Amino acid sequence: MNVNGKFDNAENPHRAGPFWSLVEWAFMAYTLLPVRHKLVKHDFKGLKGPFLLISTHAAFVDFAIAVRVAWPHGIHWVCSIEEFNGREVLFRHLGVIAKRKFTNDIVAVKHIIYAMRKNHAILALYPEARFSFIGTNETIDGGLGKLAKASHVPVVVLICHGDFIRSPQWRKHPYSRLKLVTDAYQVVTREEIETLPAEEVQKRIEQHFVIDDYAWQRDHKIKVTNPKRAENIHVVLYQCPHCGQEHEMNSKGTKLWCEHCGKEYEMDVYGQFHCLNGETRFQHAPDWYHWQRANVRKEVREGRYHFEDDVYLEELVSSKAGFVRQGTVHMTQDDSGLLLKGTINGKPFELQKPIHSMPSIHVEFNYLGRGDAIDISTMDDTWFVFPIHAKNVLTKLNFATEELYQYHKELNDGK
């Protein structure tokens, strides 16, 4: 399954046998039982596997929801390669396809097509390649329409409501109590996939792939009384809308405040913010989040964006060895791209990622209790990068990476 300690990404995915399918279904039943999940199917008439299952992604429970939608058929999954740590045998049996995040992996694409055309299986794909930060959808890959056309299969889009509110990535526990609702849309039928151009397939996917969990909670008057419902939200709402200071926000319980100017907000039971000592600048958390992105976009386009810090590196060696700490280097990110440079084990180390190679980055808040990290991948290696001195910078690093990529693309497309 791996060669010379490295992952064997050349191995074709295996369709799960009856036993492993039973394991999947048991997992689905166990996970969904306490959440009172409601599944609403739209335009499912005539739908049969295999098909491409594209889903929003905000919490672990999303995997169980996908299994329910695919029932009674098995699923092939596309999964980040670090999730294979200690689970490679299990994942191979379940037909999981490994991929390094935000890389142009042609082998993974071939495995996806193989899974649907040769194994006649449903393929579950989370195109944002990460959990949602604020309960809204992020940009998805523009090649999904081409992938569906190459696979000759129908396309189903899942919009999962409430999973983010129940367990946001920045505060996974304790779970909030609420009923989860999933809308499942067949956006392209088996007949249509043969006649529609890839651009139209992509358009239909993107039109349906829209979500705002806080708006859903507010509009449906879903009350969440969890006393920690805003705890740790400052890792994504890192900039004060009053004084403009970055990375000085803090939160606990239902409160969010600025350590610099003292402005304080409270999140009500419907997920809306209210300023306790001044004008409410942002009531809706996603509006606050997107305001921050706009500020980073301005920095990038004015040539002012620059980040640097000492970081320590962990390398993903294999599924058996897992991550191995390799040492401390210096990280710089600006309009030249991202650079890691220093000395590791007495030898010079340099890893440069040009802007055009990084449409986004994967971030982990307090990864396994070891601290905040970003994931930098090449086609052969995965590095987890932990900033040492800078605090609460992951969300801005994510914004900057995406805005640098988009601006670079616009400049090159205009030539």
pLDDT of residue 216: 98
What is the Cα–Cα distance from 67 to 77, expressed in whole angstroms?
10
Residue with tokens 């129908």: 154
Structure tokens at 291: 């305001």
pTM for this predicted structure: 0.92
Q: Which CATH architecture has domain 307-413?
A: Roll (2.30)
Strands (DSSP E) contained in 218-346 are: 249-252, 255-258, 264-267, 273-275, 307-318, 322-334, 337-344
pLDDT of residue 233: 98
pLDDT of residue 414: 73
- For residue 414, give every residue at least 6 positions away whose Cβ sits within 8 Å of its Cβ, in sequence order, or none: none
What sign has the CA pseudo-torsion 9, 13, 16, 17?
negative
Write out the DSSP string of 161-210: ESHHHHS-TT---SPP----EEEEEEEE-TTHHHHS-HHHHHHHHHHH--
Integer Rg of the chain from CA: 22
Whether the ω angle into residue 50 lies within 30 degrees of 0, i.e. cis, is: yes
User: Structural domain boundaries of the chain?
Assistant: 2-219, 233-301, 307-413
Q: Are 34 and 74 in contact (CB under 8 A)?
A: no
Q: Same CATH topology for 2-219 and 307-413?
A: no
CATH fold, domain 2-219, is Glycerol-3-phosphate (1)-acyltransferase (3.40.1130)
Block mean pLDDT (10 aa), the chain, length 415 = 50 80 87 92 91 95 94 84 71 82 82 89 90 93 93 97 96 92 97 97 97 98 97 98 98 98 98 98 98 98 98 86 90 97 94 94 91 89 94 97 96 80
Picking from 236, 277, 272, the residue whose alpha carbon sits closest to that of residue 254 is: 272
Q: Are 136 and 58 in contact (CB under 8 A)?
A: no
pLDDT of residue 6: 55
Q: Are 205 and 157 in contact (CB under 8 A)?
A: yes
Sheet holding 264-267, edge to edge: 249-252, 255-258, 264-267, 273-275
- For residue 298, give every residue at least 6 positions away whose Cβ sits within 8 Å of its Cβ, in sequence order, or none: none
